[in-house]
Structure 1
Amino acid sequence: MSDEHLHHLDNPDATTPPPKIELISSVPSPPPMPDNAEAMTIRVTLPPGSAGNPPHRHTGPAFGYMISGEMLFELEGEPERVVRAGETFWEPGGDLIHYQDANNLPDAVTEFVVTMFGVAGQPMLIPVSAEELEARRDRRAPRP
């Protein structure tokens, strides 16, 4: 991420310092956007030790920011990883399976905000059947 992403407009009438704008993450190429996309922003609160949602997919890309706690995050083909408060995550959606979004802490709440671009009128989470999980088992990264 470079300074070309930083934005500031000089304001000759300002009596206070300018806003601080900090790039936290970016996606290098446009993510696949579904036709008839609807943008929604949600806040997710996971109780301590919550397993989160079962394996699912989204109809379009999702961009998230961790407010507090830690999330165990796993997408198809990628190893599971821990996302901590102040960090971001994203997924392209579509056919990709989202395996985990669990609270990684047994004694604290985890919260994150996600902006998702999905197909209008379709659910934001589409469950994946046990049969499909088995058929795609070879696409899941090795587990620790």
Structure 2
Amino acid sequence: MSTEHAHVHHLENPSKSGPPPKIDVVGTVPGAPPAPEGAEAMTILVTLAPDSPGAPPHRHSGPAYGFVVKGAIDFELEGEPARVVRAGETFWEPGGDVIHYQDGNHLADEESVFVVTMFCAPGQPMLTVVGPEELEARRDRRAPRS
């Protein structure tokens, strides 16, 4: 995922007074997989209390794209090292079979908030928890932890 700020746009609107909006691209996902056919786009706002572990390991039926509004979250997808995503940064999940291990609050003394838009496959839940048996069976797919 790219977080370049090279794409800065200004939209002129000659029929209005005042300065035009400034648009900064804060993240992109090159080569992102398509949403499932007939997908429902769902945007949610998640507020994590201080030291919240977030959701248990889970997966989404389609891709998800998020933006941390406040604080910092611990983020880990299957096959990728865990990382911290801070306010103003974005994160991406391809959905499907990939397990999302962590999305907890990185901060012990203040809440963290993120917005995520998910493209859910029709008739499937937004989030499906992964059980301990599957986590154990896929242990080799998880990036080494420090």
- Name the TM-score class by shorter chain: over 0.9
TM-score (norm 2): 0.92
Task: Give secondary structure in 1 for the equivalent of 2:22.
Answer: coil
Query: Taking every aligned residue pair, what percent have the same amino acid on both sides?
Result: 65
Paired residues in the alignment total 143
Render the CA deviation track for 1:92-132: whole Å, top value 9, x for unaligned: 00000000001011110110000000113321110111111
Match of 1:128 among 92, 113, 130: 130
Q: Distance in 1 between matches of 2:21 and 2:38?
A: 34
C-alpha RMSD over aligned residues: 1.4
5+ unaligned residues in a row in structure 1: which ranges? none
**Matched residue of 1:131: which SS?**
helix
Counterpart CA distance in 2 for 1:43 and 1:51 is 16
Q: Tell me the TM-score normalized by structure 1.
A: 0.93
- TM-superposed deviation, 1:87: 0.7
Equivalent residue for 2:99? 97
Quick one: which amino acid aligns to residue 116 of structure 2?
V
Q: Which of the residues 13, 21, 24 maps onto 2:23?
A: 21
Which letter maps to 1:31? P
- Among 13, 22, 25, the alignment partner of 1:11 is 13
Residue ranges of structure 2 left out of the alignment (5+ in a row): none
Q: Which residue of 2 aligns with 1:110?
A: 112
